[in-house]
């Protein structure tokens, strides 16, 4: 049996001692990422009953699971829709529509658009991230490409006044991306939720109030 490296041993030790991992296990949540979203939604009151929410990069389903539970808690008579998409498979979640495919492919994007059937989206969530190579010069362009695709999707399908929450990574292209968000939305803020590990370069950009026309 191969022995684990010291770095992987450290990661495992940190992971299983993480309070958000323990909380997710205790509460039956699919991932600790649910608590990032919980903090962001609570702070900015992003959810309302009856909304249509699209969750990009959804697997293993922590965000979709939390959104579905929260919307049912607010008003089960107005369930709205939660549509999740990921290149990876995701075990079913009651009340969540899942589409598997690569968001970079036109056919997959067309399938997601078809499922909306012209219905405007109230909230677009994107927790997408590329597989990391460990080389910033490779990883950052991949991450920014996914972010650009998510913004394009929001441009086409988010209703006027709707909100867009996306994970970004500090690095080349970050500032320009945020400037583009500010052209499209009334208010843009950068958040670092408590459940986001401090050493991680990830942050979340919350863009509120999509404008009818860009500035």
Q: Is residue 181 part of a domain?
A: yes
User: What residues are paired with 191 via a beta bridge?
Assistant: 204
Number of domains in the chain: 1
132 catalytically annotated: no
Q: Is residue 1 part of a domain?
A: no
pLDDT on residue 214:
87
Show binding-site residues for S-adenosyl-L-methionine: 61, 63, 86, 102, 127
Maximum C-alpha span of the chain: 59
Q: Is residue 24 part of a domain?
A: no
Buried-state track 169-205, b at ≥16 Cβ within 10 A, e below 16: beeebbeebbebbeebbeebeeeebebbeeeeebbbb
Distances (CA, A) of 129 to 82, 117, 148, 171: 20, 27, 12, 14
Closest CA to 98 of 66, 65, 146, 69: 65
Catalytic choice (23, 167, 192, 198): 167
Mind listing the pLDDT tens digit for each residue in 154-209?
Answer: 999 999 999 999 999 998 899 999 999 999 999 999 999 887 777 788 999 999 99
Q: Is residue 3 part of a domain?
A: no
Q: Is residue 192 part of a domain?
A: yes
Q: What is the CATH number of the domain that holds 105?
A: 3.40.50.150
Q: Using 50, 70 and 90 to split pLDDT, how confident is the model at 211?
A: very high
DSSP H or E stretch at residue 143:
helix 136-157
Q: Is residue 11 part of a domain?
A: no
State whether residue 128 is helix, strand or coil: coil
Mind listing the pLDDT tens digit for each residue in 84-136?
Answer: 999 999 999 999 999 999 988 999 989 999 999 989 999 999 999 887 776 77
Q: Is residue 16 part of a domain?
A: no
CB 59 within 8 A of CB 86: yes
Residue 162: domain span:
33-210
Q: Does the pLDDT at position 71 exceed 80? A: yes
Q: What predicted TM-score, i.e. pTM, was given to this entire model?
A: 0.86
Q: Is residue 38 part of a domain?
A: yes
Q: Does the pLDDT at position 43 exceed 90? A: no
């Amino acid at each position: 049996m191969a022995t684990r490296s010291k770095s992987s041993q450290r990661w495992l030790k940190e992971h299983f001692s993480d309070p958000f991992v323990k909380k997710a296990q205790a509460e039956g949540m699919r991932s600790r990422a649910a608590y990032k979203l919980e903090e962001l939604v609570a702070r900015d009151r992003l959810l309302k009953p009856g909304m249509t929410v699209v969750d990009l990069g959804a697997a293993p389903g922590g965000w979709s699971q939390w959104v579905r539970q929260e919307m049912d808690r607010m008003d089960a008579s107005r369930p709205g829709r939660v549509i999740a998409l990921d290149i990876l498979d995701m075990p079913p979640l009651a009340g969540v529509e899942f589409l598997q495919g690569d968001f970079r492919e036109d056919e997959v994007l067309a399938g997601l658009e078809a499922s909306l059937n012209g219905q405007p989206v109230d909230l677009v969530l994107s927790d997408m991230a590329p597989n990391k190579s460990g080389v910033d010069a490779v990883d950052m362009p991949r991450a920014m490409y996914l972010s650009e695709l998510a913004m394009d999707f929001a441009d086409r399908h988010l209703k006027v006044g709707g909100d867009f929450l996306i994970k970004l990574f500090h690095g080349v292209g970050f500032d320009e991306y945020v400037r583009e968000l500010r052209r499209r939305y009334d208010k843009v803020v950068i958040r670092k939720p408590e459940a986001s590990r401090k050493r991680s370069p990830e942050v979340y950009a919350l863009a509120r109030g999509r404008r009818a026309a860009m500035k």
